[in-house]
Amino acid sequence: MLINFPSGPAFWTTNRTIAFAAFVDGVEVICELSLEAIEEHFGASRSRRDSMIAAFDRHRSRIEAVAQRVIPQRLAAGRCPLFSRDFY
């Protein structure tokens, strides 16, 4: 399984998550980082979207490393949610 992450920006979703793209064997998969994860592990303020996006940008390599580890387990759903527990 070949997993790549394009350098495009992360974005706020209506699900109240921070979303970013991954490509798995050439097929796009959307990864969604929960508010709890970005707040608990990366020091973002839940009340400020710009703080959450900035925290994602600062910690992108760690977030993508965790996504790469869990994508194979969650790919059947067609997306990859990332929870606080994934970062322990």
> Residue 28 falls within a domain, yes or no?
yes
Query: For residue range 18-59, what is the model confidence (pLDDT) as tens digits?
Result: 999 999 999 999 999 999 999 889 877 777 777 889 999 999
39 in a structural domain: yes
Per-residue pLDDT tens for 54-75? Answer: 999 999 999 999 999 999 998 8
- Can you give the pTM of this predicted structure? 0.90
Tokens standing for residue 37 = 């994860």
Taking all residues of the chain, what is their mean pLDDT, rounded to a whole number? 91
Distance CA 39, CA 33 (A): 10
Does a structural domain hold residue 68?
yes
Q: Is residue 13 part of a domain?
A: yes
Could you tell me if 86 and 66 are in contact, meaning their C-beta atoms sit under 8 angstroms apart? yes
Query: What is the SS3 assignment for 75?
Result: helix
Give a yes or no: residue 87 inside a domain.
Answer: no
Q: Which domain holds residue 17?
A: 3-82
Number of domains in the chain: 1
Confirm if 58 and 44 have CB atoms less than 8 A apart. no
Query: Among candidates 77, 64, 9, which has minimal Cα distance to 33?
Result: 64
- The CATH number of the domain holding residue 78 is 3.30.160.140
Judge contact between 80 and 30, C-beta under 8 A: yes
